[in-house]
Amino acid sequence: MKLAVVTIGQSPRVDLTPEIRDVLPPGTEIVEHGALDGLDRAAIAALAPQPGERVLTSRLRDGTSAVVRHDDTVALVGRAVARGEADGADATFLVCTGEFGQIAHTRPLFTAERLAHDGVRGLLSGFPTRRLGILSPLPEQVTEAYAHWEASMGVRPTAVGAASPYTDDPVTVAAAGAMVGGACDLLVMDCIGYTAAMRDAVQEACGDTRVVTARDVAARLLGALL
């Protein structure tokens, strides 16, 4: 099985792909493509959002990150998916927890967004009070997260916070998670950039509140299929 892993930033994602590989079946071959691959700093800067526009953030190849307009990434993501299929991928895993509508594809396309939300729905159903908390990467995404998760799952989050996996240190991420964790049963770290180490730090800060990353939930579901 050859799997194309498509990020909205730039490939390779050395912070991401090794953790994904660990939960996929042995022998799965991964090819990586990024929506921003091939763009220089000036081209990426031109994608910077204006106030009030929907935003996304992702890692660049040099280890820094960029914040870009959501709407401008849709076509770029589609091209990255096409490049993965041209590489001979049997399936594509779009590793972003944003929505991208209908992306053209000729082979199976699985999105971290859909897999994570459906997996979280199942996990949350086990809690009597079903209190959901969300940690988003950007403050601009906090208000949107309430409506987005409610529309997707039928459950409105009880609390949403923000901390970037790319620009904030682990202490800041853990503190932001703890502020949300006190108001929920299950806290979802809703960005592909959150690592297992970040999740462990947030879990320690949250005590009894259970913590998962969208990355892990989505990858494990996909791994069960491949």
**Spatial distance between the Cα atoms of 33 and 77, rounded to a whole number of angstroms:** 9
Q: Which of 48, 50, 20, 18 is nearest to 36 (CA)?
A: 48
Tens-digit pLDDT profile for residues 19-32: 999 999 999 999 99
Instruction: For residues 67-85, give the mean pLDDT.
Output: 95
Q: Give residue 95's pLDDT.
A: 97
Tens-digit pLDDT profile for residues 84-133: 999 999 999 999 988 888 899 999 999 999 999 999 999 999 999 999 99
Q: What is the DSSP string of 12-64?
A: --TTTHHHHHHTSPTT-EEEEEETTTT--HHHHHTTPPPTTS-EEEEE-TTS-
Q: What is the model's pTM?
A: 0.95
**Spatial distance between the Cα atoms of 202 and 189, rounded to a whole number of angstroms:** 9
**Spatial distance between the Cα atoms of 54 and 82, rounded to a whole number of angstroms:** 24
**Spatial distance between the Cα atoms of 117 and 223, rounded to a whole number of angstroms:** 16
Tens-digit pLDDT profile for residues 133-181: 999 999 999 999 999 999 999 999 999 999 999 999 999 999 999 999 9
